[in-house]
Amino acid sequence: MTPDTIVLVHGFWVTARSWEHWKTHYEKQGYRVLAPNYPGFEVEVESLNADPSPIANVTVPQIISHFEAVIGELSSPPIIIGHSAGGAFTQVLLDHGFGAVGVAINSAPTEGVVVAPPSQLRSTFPILRNPANRHKAVGFTHEQWQYAFTNTFTEEESRALYERYHIPGSAGILWSSLLANVQPGHQDVWVDYRNDNRAPLLFVSGGEDHLMPPSVQKSNAKHYKSDAVTEIREYAGYAHLLPAQEGWERIADDVLAWAVAHAR
């Protein structure tokens, strides 16, 4: 049965508002589209910038549980599309048995992926340079945001998106992700790469992404050893904030067509 619902999972340093155009685009095609915020993020961007305490306190298990509850209430498995950290959460949700198919766009890595290109280190340095940030919500300056998220955008486009979408991010979760590969036992973004029962998964990579470059997407995809469908597509010239870059409609349609063709 073809899914009739799409669940969009946002990443850090933005909210579900970042999906506003994709939500409308898919709704015009007849889909029911849900774009939930993380727990505590239900207020507007401006409110989270004024009081980022919900960002500092949220945990990955809380986020995963929240999305599992949302999806669990649906009458049939949806298409799950996640961006950045939302891509990693999409992988976890599929591994937990949720969704008919998944798409991870410029995904943050799941546990075991150790590739860390120089552009990624430079992008995350403003957050990681101070260990005291681990218990804080930390934002980017516009200059830092433009390097990490919008390096292929014009200055005017980048600043407009910064003002509309940017919020602080949880430095604690970023630190935990960094340390996940050296800590014993399974961590928050662990997935079973040999899970044959997982729904099909497509990685989408922006060719110019500084924050989660193509090498990260390729390494993450290669970790999967199961019989479940796992594919990767790269779009040349696209930055990390691919869902807001000119031409996003073509990619939105491409990934939806792939998802519909592979949904189980």
pLDDT, residue 193, reads 97
Q: Are 137 and 171 in contact (CB under 8 A)?
A: yes
Provide the terminal-to-terminal Cα distance of the chain, rounded to the nearest Å.
7
- Which residue ranges of the chain lie beneath pLDDT 50? none
Provide CATH code, domain 5-262: 3.40.50.1820
Element (H, E) at 69: helix 60-72
pLDDT, residue 129, reads 83
pLDDT, residue 214, reads 97
Segments making up each domain of the chain, as ranges? 5-262
pLDDT, residue 135, reads 83
pLDDT, residue 148, reads 97
Judged on CB neighbours under 10 Å (0-12, 13-18, 19+), 176 is: middle
Nearest to 261 by CA among 79, 8, 34, 33: 79
Q: Give dist(CA 54, CA 62) in Å, integer.
A: 12
Q: Are 174 and 212 in contact (CB under 8 A)?
A: no
Compute CA distances 130 → 32, 120, 127, whole Å. 42, 17, 7
